[in-house]
Amino acid sequence: MPAKLAANRYGKSKVRLMRVTKHEDHHDLDEWTVQILLSGDFETAHTLGDNSKILPTDTMKNTVYSLARDSKATSMEDYAKELVDFLLGRNPQVTEAEVVIESTLWKRLTVDGKPFPTAFMRGSDEVQTTTVSRAQGAGFEIISGLDNLTVLKSANSGFVGYIKDELTTLPETTDRIFATALKATWEYTADAIAAGIDFDKVRGHLRETMIAAFAKHDSLSVQQTLYAMAEAALEHTDIIDEVYMRMPNKHCLLVNLAPFGQRNPNHIFVPTDEPHGTIEATIRRA
């Protein structure tokens, strides 16, 4: 039976890049993990083993480092745009290039009560993310966000009124710990990209807006709080039209202290990672 290539793309993943930008009185530090994916006219590479249109993935890795050396980009989005343009400009056989970057958090050390200009401390497991793509002759598409932002609230959270059947063991509560490792992404509008924006500033504002909504919201469910956080982000700016959010419910289980003759009025818990509830949704501007 004859076969036909339906779709394909290829590239380089997990390219680790650390960049030190040296100013006169301080250094800035970026740690990025870069992925490049190319789509295009690569059919004969699959069907005939003809590599004449294949840019080696090792060359892509080298391009990441070489372009970073002279890049003036201060955000990973702007660097990704440079990388996409470079690859499309040199490879007419490529119809679309996509660059995905994750940024690891480093915080400046505080020494003698002041930020130290050239020393850093690894932050949390939170990563900042972006996916930048462009087809030949078209505009950029940019989806940015954050992942594994771990937050917890010890008040203003409950869960009642849900379905109960013969398999239900979960008791209702109006006082529970609510912990999650948030993933959120948003796509910038074409007008915002064309106008030019400070991607780091926007991400910081959206992050703080969603964190504030999480802290202040009187939560009746993870779903309700997720919606409130996304709604707050959309109300904050008009340069995004929708927000995707995933919020696993990281359970903290109340410990039964009765065998020890003790009460446990929501003071002692066992934090668990697995299994956990998974709640995700996309909230779009009405």
In angstroms, what CA-CA distances link 137 with 142, 190, 193, 205?
16, 15, 16, 32
| Sheet of 240-249, strand order | 10-22, 27-40, 94-111, 114-135, 141-153, 178-188, 240-249, 277-284
Cα–Cα dist 96/83, whole Å:
12
Angle at 231 between CA 234 and CA 106, to 5 degrees: 70
Contacts 24+ apart (CB under 8 A), 169-177: 175/266, 176/252, 176/266, 177/152, 177/153, 177/252, 177/269
Which residues have a catalytic role annotated? 12, 57, 251
Cα–Cα dist 35/88, whole Å:
15
